[in-house]
Amino acid sequence: MSITPQQLLESALTRHRGVLSCDIVFGDDAGASVGHDDREAPFVPDDGDGEEPGFLISITDEDPERLCAVVRVAEDSDVLGVGIDLASTEDWTQDERGERFAELLFTEHEKALISAADGSVPLLRAKVFSAKEAAFKSTATVLRRWYESHDEELYFEARDFELVSWSESRGAGRRDRAAISCAKLGISRIEISFTEYADMAFCVAIAC
The structural domains of the chain, with segments of one domain joined by +, span 5-207
Residue 62's pLDDT band (cuts 50, 70, 90)? low
pLDDT at 37 over 80: no
pLDDT digits (tens, 9 = 90+) for 83-113: 999 998 888 887 777 788 888 899 999 999 9
Domain 5-207 CATH superfamily:
4'-phosphopantetheinyl transferase domain (3.90.470.20)
Please report the pLDDT score of residue 22 as a whole number. 96
If one compares 35 and 134, the residue with the highest pLDDT of the two is 134
pLDDT at 14 over 90: yes
pLDDT at 42 over 70: yes
- Percent of the chain surpassing pLDDT 90: 57
pLDDT digits (tens, 9 = 90+) for 167-203: 866 677 787 789 999 999 999 999 999 999 888 999 9
What's the whole-number average pLDDT of the chain?
88
Tell me the mean pLDDT in the region 71-86: 96
Please report the pLDDT score of residue 52 as a whole number. 82
pLDDT at 64 over 70: no
pLDDT at 31 over 80: no
Please report the pLDDT score of residue 123 as a whole number. 93
Three state DSSP letters for the chain: CCCCHHHHHHHHHCCCCCEEEEEEEECCCCCCCCEECCCCCEECECCCCCECCCEEEEECCCCCCCEEEEEEECCCCCCCEEEEEEEEHHHHCCCHHHHHHHHHHCCHHHHHHHHHCCCCHHHHHHHHHHHHHHHHHCCHHHHHHHHHHCCCCCCCCHHHEEECCCCCCCCEEECHHHHHHHHHHCCCCEEEEEEEECCEEEEEEEEC
pLDDT at 74 over 90: yes
